[in-house]
């Protein structure tokens, strides 16, 4: 339940510190006093959208803190534990805090840890249910409608078993699907590897072959040009030209004819003879090279074809031709290591089938119990609707076939508010007052067997009065036996039924305040609600009589 609410610098509120108790708490006050602002502040700390208008004029920021007692609220405690937000010192305590700056930016905290507004709203849905004409109306959600029926039918345990079977089935099915995808990919990869290895094997590629062929091709492609160059060299070295080796030979003979043994001349003669000897060797090597050069056009054609084949395959594998041999070895190793894993798929498929069979069996049994209980649920809610002044009002539950964690049922609440018109979905009922009363009737019936969160009803008595308002008060009083209820009301018959009474007012300087009423102050407030500003002894007596009747 909501145990404490602290508000600082929010709209027209400078500072409020409110404590709440179990049972039915009524909030009253004149129109414009700030009851809506109070609910807006609570909505902010529960995850509503923040804006700069939330901050009281002149203040740097607004802050709202809500403290909850989670005793018995296992859903909220499980959520906190899953998010790592549990207060280890007080596991049944939950503190929500929202701060909004003057620029409209906000920060949210759960038990002192920063969270985003989405997470805050997700937690708040299991803490408190605000029944108004806008946010937080859990009752309009199909999942909540089905859960309330499960509470009434006593099938929450069966639903948990169904949810477990559904998760196990889908987990096994997902793992089987993922494995099947991996197996298919492995098969495809294996086929590709086999093709690529076969293609490369067919080349009969030898290490270093490409380099050797490339060098041989370059040589053969220029054979004629090289032969012409060698011919010129041979002519020069053999003395067939006036320049070249013949001139050097004549020079050597001339130097030998000089009759002088000078050291420098002897050195020049030796070097020239050595040069002539090297030139002879050059000529001999060039003749051997010329013998090795063979234009051989057929051989050139063969080598060219082989090199083209290597280049084409290298482009296909996005490699350089000289890396093909190493790439073939890599592919062969990968093919040898590839494990397809077909043997595991059959086991997973069998597990998925077993879990699906379990789910279907449990879900069918759950569906029968739900549909059987639906008639009693419809009758009880319809009775309360008529008591609440909706003449001819009735609730009908419409089942549709689905398949999810909840079982094989989806349920929609269809209501009739006027026998002349067809039933419509609860979310589509136009009158906010009617919706509040219908929601109240449903909550009262479900609450007798359900563990509901704290409930805030914003003017559930709108548009009604007299005996019907008294019925609303009695139903709220009954509902408060099962859940904490906070009700904003303008009906004295409802206010008189409250276990606790808070009055929202506005000070002379226009700021909203909240005071706890008891004894004479409470009687005076009910007298005001009955008669307006002209309070008489008679209205005071009537107010006291209402309070006494409400407490009886």
Q: Please give the helix or strand (H or E) that residue 266 lies within, else none.
A: helix 263-292
Q: Please give the helix or strand (H or E) that residue 3 lies within, else none.
A: strand 2-10
pLDDT exceeds 80 at position 390: yes
170 vs 165: CA distance, rounded Å: 9
Residue 309 burial (10 A CB sphere; 0-12, 13-18, 19+): middle
Mean pLDDT, residues 78-95: 91
**Residue from 200, 211, 213 nearest 306 by CA:** 213
**Residue from 86, 67, 79, 64 nearest 126 by CA:** 79
pLDDT at 340 (0 to 100): 59
pLDDT at 136 (0 to 100): 38
Of 266-280, 323-337, 515-529, the range with the highest mean pLDDT is: 515-529
Mean pLDDT, residues 358-365: 95
Q: Name the band, by pLDDT with cuts 50, 70 and 90, for residue 367.
A: very high
pLDDT exceeds 70 at position 196: yes
The residue with greater pLDDT, 136 or 387, is: 387
Q: Name the band, by pLDDT with cuts 50, 70 and 90, for residue 191.
A: confident
For the segment 391-424, what is each residue's pLDDT rounded down to a tens digit? 888 999 999 999 999 999 999 999 888 888 888 8
Percentage, residues of the chain above pLDDT 90? 27
Of 16-20, 276-280, 294-298, the range with the highest mean pLDDT is: 16-20
Which residues lie closer than 8 Å to 439 by C-beta, 6 or more apart?
A: 131, 137, 139, 426, 460
Q: Of the ranges 69-78, 116-125, 230-239, 324-333, which one carries the lowest mean pLDDT score?
A: 230-239
Sheet of 512-517, strands arranged across: 128-131, 454-458, 485-488, 24-28, 500-506, 512-517
Domain over 1-127+499-516 is classified CATH 3.40.50.300: yes
pLDDT at 461 (0 to 100): 65
Read off the tokens for 62.
């607004």
Percentage, residues of the chain above pLDDT 70? 88
506 vs 39: CA distance, rounded Å: 15
The residue with greater pLDDT, 255 or 58, is: 58
For the segment 232-289, what is each residue's pLDDT rounded down to a tens digit? 776 666 654 445 566 667 777 777 777 777 787 788 888 878 887 887 788 788 777 7
pLDDT at 240 (0 to 100): 47
Q: Name the band, by pLDDT with cuts 50, 70 and 90, for residue 94.
A: very high
462 vs 472: CA distance, rounded Å: 10
pLDDT exceeds 50 at position 430: no
Read off the tokens for 459.
């003017």
pLDDT at 99 (0 to 100): 95
pLDDT at 439 (0 to 100): 78
The residue with greater pLDDT, 337 or 221, is: 337
**Dihedral sign (CA 448, 452, 456, 461):** negative
pLDDT at 453 (0 to 100): 76
259 vs 216: CA distance, rounded Å: 54
pLDDT exceeds 90 at position 95: yes
pLDDT at 131 (0 to 100): 66
pLDDT at 275 (0 to 100): 81
271 vs 273: CA distance, rounded Å: 5
Q: If you average pLDDT over every residue of the chain, what do you get?
A: 83
For the segment 299-318, what is each residue's pLDDT rounded down to a tens digit? 777 877 888 888 888 888 88
pLDDT at 441 (0 to 100): 83
The residue with greater pLDDT, 332 or 525, is: 525
Q: Of the ranges 58-67, 161-170, 442-451, which one carries the lowest mean pLDDT score?
A: 442-451
Mean pLDDT, residues 52-73: 91
The residue with greater pLDDT, 442 or 231, is: 442
Mean pLDDT, residues 205-233: 73
The residue with greater pLDDT, 137 or 158, is: 158
């Amino acid at each position: 339940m909501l145990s404490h609410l602290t508000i600082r610098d929010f709209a027209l509120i400078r500072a409020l510190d409110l404590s709440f108790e179990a049972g039915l708490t009524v909030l009253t006050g004149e129109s414009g006093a700030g009851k809506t602002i109070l609910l807006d502040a609570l909505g902010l700390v529960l995850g509503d959208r923040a804006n700069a208008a939330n901050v009281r004029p002149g203040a740097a920021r607004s802050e709202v803190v809500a403290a909850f007692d989670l005793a018995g609220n296992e859903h909220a405690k499980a959520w906190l534990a899953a998010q790592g937000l549990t207060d280890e010192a007080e596991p049944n305590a939950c503190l929500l805090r929202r701060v909004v700056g003057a620029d409209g930016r906000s920060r949210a905290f759960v038990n002192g840890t920063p969270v985003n507004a989405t997470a805050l709203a997700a937690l708040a849905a299991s803490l408190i249910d605000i029944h108004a004409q806008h946010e937080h109306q859990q009752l309009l959600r199909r999942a909540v409608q089905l859960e309330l029926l499960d509470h009434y039918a006593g099938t929450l345990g069966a639903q948990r078993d169904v949810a477990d079977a559904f998760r196990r089935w889908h987990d096994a099915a997902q793992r089987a699907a993922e494995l099947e995808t991996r197996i298919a990919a492995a098969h495809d990869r294996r086929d590709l590897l086999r093709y690529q290895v076969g293609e490369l094997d067919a080349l009969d590629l030898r290490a270093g072959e490409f380099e050797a062929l490339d060098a041989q091709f370059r040589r053969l492609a220029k054979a004629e040009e090289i032969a012409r160059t060698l011919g010129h060299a041979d002519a020069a070295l053999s003395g067939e030209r006036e320049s070249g080796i013949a001139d050097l030979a004549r020079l050597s003979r001339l130097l030998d004819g000089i009759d002088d043994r000078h050291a420098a001349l002897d050195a020049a003669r030796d070097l020239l003879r050595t040069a002539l000897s090297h030139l002879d060797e050059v000529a001999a090597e060039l003749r051997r090279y010329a013998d090795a050069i063979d234009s051989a056009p057929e051989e050139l054609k063969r080598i060219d074809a082989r090199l083209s084949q290597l280049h084409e395959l290298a482009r296909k594998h996005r490699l350089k031709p000289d890396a093909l041999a190493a790439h073939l070895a890599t592919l062969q190793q990968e093919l040898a290591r590839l494990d397809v894993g077909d043997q595991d798929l059959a086991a997973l498929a069998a597990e998925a089938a077993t879990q699906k069979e379990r789910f279907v069996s449990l879900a069918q049994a759950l569906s029968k119990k739900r549909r059987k209980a639906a008639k009693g649920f419809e009758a009880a809610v319809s009775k309360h609707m008529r008591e609440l002044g909706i003449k001819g009002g009735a609730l009908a539950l419409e089942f549709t076939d689905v398949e999810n964690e909840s079982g094989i049922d989806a349920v929609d609440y269809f209501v009739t508010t006027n026998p002349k018109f067809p039933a419509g979905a609860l979310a589509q009922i136009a009158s906010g007052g009617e919706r509040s009363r219908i929601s109240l009737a449903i909550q009262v019936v479900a609450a007798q067997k359900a563990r509901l969160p704290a409930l805030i009803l914003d003017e559930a008595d709108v548009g009604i009065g007299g005996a019907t308002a008294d019925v609303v008060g009695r139903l709220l009083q009954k509902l408060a036996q099962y859940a904490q209820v906070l009700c904003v009301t303008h009906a004295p018959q409802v206010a008189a039924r409250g276990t606790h009474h808070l009055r929202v007012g506005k000070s002379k300087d226009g700021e909203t305040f909240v005071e706890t009423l008891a004894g004479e102050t409470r009687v005076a407030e009910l007298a005001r609600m009955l008669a307006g500003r002209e309070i008489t002894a008679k209205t005071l007596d009537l107010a006291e009589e209402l309070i006494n009747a409400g407490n009886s």
